[in-house]
Amino acid sequence: MEKACEGLEILNAKDFRDINPGDRILMGPGPSDVPARTLQAIAAPCIGHLDPYFLEIMNEVQQLLRFLFQTENELTIPVSGTGSAGMETCFVNLVEPGDEVVVCVNGVFGTRMADIVNRIGGKLVRVDAEWGTAIDPRALKDAIAGRKPKVVAVVHAETSTGVCQPLEDLARISHDAGALFLVDTVTSLGGMPVAIDDMNIDAVYSGTQKCISGPPGLSPVSFSRAAVRAMEQRKTPVVSWYLDLSMVRDYWGTERKYHHTAPINMIYSLREALRLITEEGLDMRFERHRLNHRALVAGIEAMGLSMLVPEPIRLPMLNAVRIPEGVEDITVRKVLLNQFGIEIGGGLGQFAGKVWRIGLMGHSCRRKNVLLLLAALETVLKSEGYPARPGALDAATAVYDQAC
């Protein structure tokens, strides 16, 4: 046993167990289940971040990301950090102190965008909508009237509420005002169309842990030519050295200039996750998310529960379900996890304790998971004294049968 310095605790390696969290079915707001092939890719030998083999892997990851984003943007890379790092990357590279930035806020992650704008010295203009609803394009148009914002930012898939934000009108209004259009696709990318060239998006960020079904730790980003020009015309340095794309892009570009040691094995895993997406095909993947979402909603409503978000703006991959009166949020989630191995999420912000957030993301978005969750939830609710109506599995199965 090692002898510790005076005052320090003596540690024995035998006191630390092997990592074995047990089986989980991840049906919360993220992360999602990671396929075996993606996990196996992480275990490939670690090599140098300038090794010729790894440089080829980087090229392939960029090519695969452009396919997923449906873009020709040259500057399309994974940032070394989670989705929040991608959010900061977009803002710190495009916004200088005093720049006017319009942020659309209808949930937690729009609020986070606004916080970042304030922290980096931008002049914030908020366009707020009630949580659980989408941003009204007329509200954005009114907020922009008489202004010259540099950036307009919005969340495509608000993870805190399950709202899908229509983007076409917001993009048009933003560009008519001469602004760059910045979009959070952390939850939507890989589970629904995010064709950023066709959608006229100038800057976008996402995360690997949701519909891409990779481990958390990387944030895909992409910048249009207009956004790159705005970065190149900055008058002040980017406030974050680590996220300064004027340097990072030289590592991912042809010059391969060292900036930071890339997370080699995480990039292996991203490549494999993206390869799985291409094998399935985007249209098939998006339809799988829509079908499982419809089956889940049918079962939830047959049980006597209700959805938070109106059908026209519901996300397929993040389903916010109202918690019935008299049912304890945390108790139900604990029983689902401990007895059935199923993780679902609780509400955030003003919806804490009021909704469950059920994820159908990437590899977790499967028929067997939908049916298992509905059966388990019905069992738990009845044990908690809630009179869940029978027929949830029949309702969900009917949706699948109709799709055959």
Q: CA 196 from chain center: how many Å?
A: 16
Q: Does 78 share its domain with 58?
A: yes
* CATH number where 222 lies: 3.40.640.10
What dihedral angle (degrees, nearest 10) is formed by the CA atoms of 392, 397, 400, 404? -160
Whether residue 28 lies inside any domain: the answer is no
**Mean pLDDT in consecutive groups of 10 residues from the start of the chain, 404 residues:** 66 88 95 98 96 97 98 98 97 98 98 98 98 98 97 98 98 98 98 98 98 98 98 97 96 91 97 98 98 98 98 98 96 97 96 97 98 98 95 98 92
**Residues 108/159, Cβ–Cβ less than 8 Å:** yes
Whether 227 is covered by a domain: the verdict is yes
Is 308 found in the same domain as 297?
yes
323 domain residue, yes or no: yes
Based on DSSP, count helices (H) and strands (E) in the chain, helices before strands: 13, 14
Q: How far is CA 388 from the centre of its chain?
A: 31
Contact status, residue 219 vs residue 62, Cβ threshold 8 Å: no
Predicted local distance difference test score (pLDDT) of residue 9: 79
279, 314, 333 - which closes a domain: 279
Residue with tokens 């991912």: 252
User: Does residue 11 fall inside a structural domain?
Assistant: no
User: Of 216, 245, 279, which residue is a domain's last?
Assistant: 279
Asked whether 182 and 204 are in contact (CB, 8 A), the reply is: yes
The verdict on 187 and 295 lying in the same domain is no
Residue 8 in domain? no
Count how many domains the chain has.
Answer: 2
Same domain, 308 and 224: no
- Per DSSP bridges, beta strands 355-359 and 345-346 are antiparallel
d(CA 223, CA 214): 22
Do 354 and 327 belong together in one domain? yes
DSSP 3-state assignment of 382? helix
User: Same domain, yes or no, for 275 and 286?
Assistant: no
Produce one character per residue of 385-396: b if its CB has 16 or more CB atoms within 10 Å, e if not: ebebeeebbebb
Q: How many CA atoms lie within 13 A of 364 on its CB side?
A: 31
CATH code (residue 338): 3.90.1150.10
Contacts of residue 233, defined as CB under 8 A and 6 or more positions apart, other chains included, come to: none
In a domain, 178, yes or no: yes
Around Cβ 247, how many Cβ atoms within 10 Å? 15
336 and 270, same domain (yes or no): no
For residue 271, tell me if it sits in a domain: yes
- Is 109 found in the same domain as 258? yes
Do both 273 and 298 map to the same domain? no
Q: Which of 246, 261, 279 is the last residue of a domain?
A: 279
**Tokens representing 20?**
């074995």
Domain span at residue 219 reads 36-279
> Helix H segments across 314-354?
329-340
State whether 229 and 289 are in the same domain: no
Residue 50 belongs to some domain of the structure: yes
Mark whether 304 and 323 lie in a shared domain.
Answer: yes
Q: Are residues 206 and 269 both part of a single domain?
A: yes
pLDDT at 1: 45
